[in-house]
Amino acid sequence: MNWTTLVDPTLLVLHLHDPDLRIVDARFVLTDSVAGRAGYQASHLPHAVFADLNEDLADLSKIAQGQGRHPLPDASVFTAKLGQWGIAPQHQVVVYDGGDGSMAAARLWWMLKLLGHAHVAVLDGGSAAWQAAGLPESDEVPVPPSTAAYPGAYDAARIASDDDVAARLQDAPGWLVDARAEERYSGRHEHVDRVAGHVPGAVNRPFLDNLQDGRLRDPQALRDELLPLLGGHAPEDVVLMCGSGVTACHLLLAFEHAGLPGPRIYTGSWSGWISDPARPVAVTS
């Protein structure tokens, strides 16, 4: 096993009993915060543990600090959780959610990358693809072999802050890519955050444009579409954002799948940006 972006269900099933494999179910529904856990308890991939976006992959107590709707938990809290899940640096981790990876498999994939964990991949097509292939599931909740806290800390160089974004507002377009739907980016309709629009200078690439039938599209096709968005900026000079730092991780997964590694994630994203009313907001007609 040496999977670092995506793994196909038909390949994963061949390794279900590998002692170095760890599987994490990260299903989450924005409109129903308990639906993911309920789905997991009803049925999940064999040996999978459950990660809750709000409880395990974010620290909602930080929202009041202006860090967006899904602030990163402290690294020490996250590494302790990984230890409870039995995840150590030598393990191949596979993360999945209900479908395309955007809620919230790619978020956990990125958080592990922040710790320097190389062998972590998203199940392509998630539980929907697994079930469509008729592959085995279980309702047994495993008790993983708990280990010490995962050794490591977040790589701050892979994270963009409010100040990082504010300092680049005059840069030529292409350095900031927004993964939200066009109607939210443009300001025509905002059903999640209290302010509509986008960060001035950001270009729009809805994460759904990277998908076909719930799976990431062909790498070359993605590359042909993503690269022109950057306006000549190198991928490592690019920042990705969304509403709260979740689907931006899915966009990063698409970049890596397309052979364009290096963009940073703006963790606060739109909900963090608008926490300060002095920050500029752009809309499109």
Asked whether 191 and 220 are in contact (CB, 8 A), the reply is no
pLDDT at 42: 97
The sign of the dihedral angle between the CA atoms of 274, 280, 284, 285 is positive
* Residue 58, SS3 per DSSP: coil
Q: How far is 285 from 87, CA to CA, in rounded Å?
A: 48
pLDDT digits (tens, 9 = 90+) for 207-255: 999 999 999 999 999 999 999 999 999 999 999 999 999 999 999 999 9
pLDDT at 285: 72
Catalytic residue among 242, 249, 251, 258: 242
Please tell me the predicted confidence (pLDDT) of residue 146. 77
Spatial distance between the Cα atoms of 174 and 17, rounded to a whole number of angstroms? 44
Give the span between the Cα atoms of 177 and 148, in whole angstroms: 37
Q: In the chain, what percentage of residues exceed pLDDT 90?
A: 98
Instruction: Tell me the two tokens of residue 261.
Output: 């590694």
| 38-51 tens-digit pLDDT | 999 999 999 999 99
Checking 275-282 for CB contacts under 8 A at 24+ apart, the result is: 275/66, 275/67, 275/68, 276/66, 276/162, 279/162, 279/166, 280/169, 280/199, 280/200, 281/187, 281/195, 281/197, 281/198, 281/199, 281/200, 282/187, 282/197, 282/198, 282/199, 282/200, 282/201, 282/202
**Segment holding 212, helix H or strand E:** strand 211-212
Q: ω before 282 within 30° of 0 (cis)? A: no
Examine the residue annotation and report whether 249 is marked as an active-site residue of this protein. Answer: no
The CATH class of the 157-273 domain is: alpha beta
Q: Which of 76, 72, 53 is nearest to 62 (CA)?
A: 72
Residues 150-188 have pLDDT tens digits of 999 999 999 999 999 999 999 999 999 999 999 999 999
Question: For the segment 95-145, what is each residue's pLDDT rounded down to a tens digit?
Answer: 999 999 999 999 999 999 999 999 999 999 999 999 999 999 999 999 998
Q: Do domains 6-154 and 157-273 have the same CATH topology?
A: yes
Please provide the average confidence, as pLDDT, over all residues in the chain: 97
Identify the pLDDT of residue 52: 98
Domain locations along the chain = 6-154, 157-273
What superfamily would CATH give domain 6-154?
Answer: Rhodanese-like domain (3.40.250.10)
Q: Report pLDDT for 273.
A: 98
The 10s digit of each residue's pLDDT in 58-95 is 999 999 999 999 999 999 999 999 999 999 999 999 99
Nearest C-alpha neighbor of 106 from the set 42, 28, 206, 39: 28
Cβ atoms of 177 and 206 within 8 Å: the answer is: no
Whether 263 has a pLDDT exceeding 90, the answer reads yes
21-43 pLDDT, tens per residue?
A: 999 999 999 999 999 999 999 99
